[in-house]
Amino acid sequence: MGRVIYLDHASTTPTDPEVVEVMRPWLAEQFGNPSTVYSLGVAAAKALQDARESIAACIGAEPEEIYFTSGGTEADNWAILGTADAHQKKGRHLITSTIEHHAVLEPMEYLEKHGCEITHVPVDAGGLVDPDDVRRALRPDTVLVSIMHANNEIGTIEPIDEIGRVTREAGVLFHTDAVQTVGKLPLDVNELGVDLLSMSAHKFYGPKGVGLLYLRKRTRVSPLLHGGNQENGRRAGTHNVPGIVGMAKALELATARMAEDGVREAVLRNRLWEGLSANIEAVHLNGDMAHRLPSNLNVRLDGIEGESMILMLDMEGICVSSGSACTTGSLDPSHVLLALGIPAEHAHGSLRITLGRSTTAEDIDFFIKVFPPIVARLREMSPVWCANCACKQRN
């Protein structure tokens, strides 16, 4: 395989070599179970505690408020199902948005099938939630508001701190899926005003299959996994010690280089957008540009399919995504793009390009060079686009 230009960092990131290094002993000779009392286990328990303290410090939390999970999906499911279960006496109404990740939308749908009521607040054409919509959706029986920090498809950053003020005033628990922002934006659970927060290591150059749920002190949430007494009896299962150690290192590295990476990626992202809009006709931006992750670009091209663009870019060694990786293989247009008011036939022609640490100006320029001819070829073959051309010629 030739050189790969990886522009799909929102779906996963390569594990940082320094992270791999700190994980290695915990996979090999330091394999003890942290729940045991002999030295081998105690060493693992100490590594867990160090990781817990280091991660807590990065997000403004207390170490006792960190609960390790198998990733973002488990953290989101636990936050939603666990809160709904523990607060049934207060009510069975939950609020979320129309653009959440499936790891939030699906447990919400599960609850709906089991007697809960779910309100999905809308987003504007740029993908932003209005905190006043959240305020208006609140009811005396509302037990949880769950709104993502930044969207994984269009990169829009939601006004979490403002929503946090709304939920706090109302005395309602507030969860945010921060999987796309941890390690990318400065983040403090108190400034955001959240009671629960999900993160996942593989989105910030850590290993896959490990994440956590931040649970503010005294927040009642039923366990999702029942078994051993790990994590204060709130999340059973032998700890993924190498993964947790790796996640702590990854977050430490990401926090240290966050500001610099963000500026560099935003410059490259803007260069990409300028290059594409100057060289391709009928290309549109999906999502608000001002409130957006520096690494995200999501564009829509009239007359062609996202999947065919992905395959042709792959032949040039470029990895990008059409919707979220989870919807790849399904023919449904992205629920996020539909929520912005984009018609289904246009949503299909979208491409998500997410930059990262390895992205160079040469990569971006190569993309700008190879992509316009791909679009032209696909449009030549497209019945939809040809109809447009004919129509234009006639006028």
Least distance (Å) from ligand PLP to the CB of residue 150? 7
Given the residues 58, 326, 386, 389, select the one marked as catalytic: 326
Per CB under 6 A, the list member of 129, 147, 179, 310 interacting with ligand PLP is 179
- Name the segment binding ligand PLP (CB under 6 A); options: 65-73, 124-132, 345-353, 376-384: 65-73
Q: Between 148 and 276, name the residue whose CB sits nearer to ligand PLP.
A: 148
Residue 296 interacting with ligand PLP (CB under 6 A): no
Radius of gyration of the chain (CA): 22
Buried b (16+ CB within 10 A) or exposed e, 93-105: bbbbbbbbbebbb
Binding span for ligand PLP by CB under 6 A among 69-77, 111-119, 213-221, 240-248: 69-77
Interface with ligand PLP: number of residues (CB under 6 A) = 14
Q: Which is nearer to ligand PLP, 321 or 359 (CB)?
A: 321
Token pair for 350: 């979208």
Asked whether position 180 contacts ligand PLP by CB under 6 A, the answer is: yes
Among 8, 16, 158, 177, binds ligand PLP (CB under 6 A): 177
DSSP characters for 337-355?
HHHTT--HHHHTTEEEEE-
| 116 among known catalytic residues | no
- Residue of 203, 235, 348, 352 interacting with ligand PLP (CB under 6 A): 203
All residues at 6 or more sequence positions from 48 whose CB lies less than 8 Å from its CB, including other chains? 34, 68, 239, 241, 244, 245
Is there binding between residue 196 and ligand PLP (CB under 6 A)?
no
In the complex, the smallest distance separating the C-beta of residue 229 from ligand PLP, rounded to whole angstroms, is 24
Which residues are within 8 A (CB) of 350 and not within 5 positions of it... i.e. 6 or more apart? 286, 298, 299, 300, 301, 306, 322, 323, 334, 337, 342
52 binds ligand PLP (CB under 6 A): no
Q: Are 331 and 348 in contact (CB under 8 A)?
A: no
Structure tokens given for 40: 């081998």
Separation CA 26–CA 28 (nearest Å): 6
What is the Cα–Cα distance from 71 to 218, expressed in whole angstroms? 23
Residue, CB closest to ligand PLP: 72
- Part of the chain binding ligand PLP (CB under 6 A), chosen from 31-39, 71-79, 303-311, 386-394: 71-79
Quick check: 200 binds ligand PLP (CB under 6 A)? yes
| Cα(358)–Cα(354) distance, integer angstroms | 11
String of contacts with ligand PLP for each residue 72-101, x by CB under 6 A: xx--x------------------------x
Is residue 356 a contact point for ligand PLP (CB under 6 A)?
no
The Cα 226–Cα 247 span in angstroms is 24
Are the C-beta atoms of 179 and 71 separated by less than 8 Å?
no
Question: Can you read off the two tokens belonging to residue 172?
Answer: 């309602």
What residues act catalytically?
Answer: 326
Interface residue list for ligand PLP (CB under 6 A): 71-73, 76, 101, 103, 148, 152, 177, 179-180, 200, 203, 211
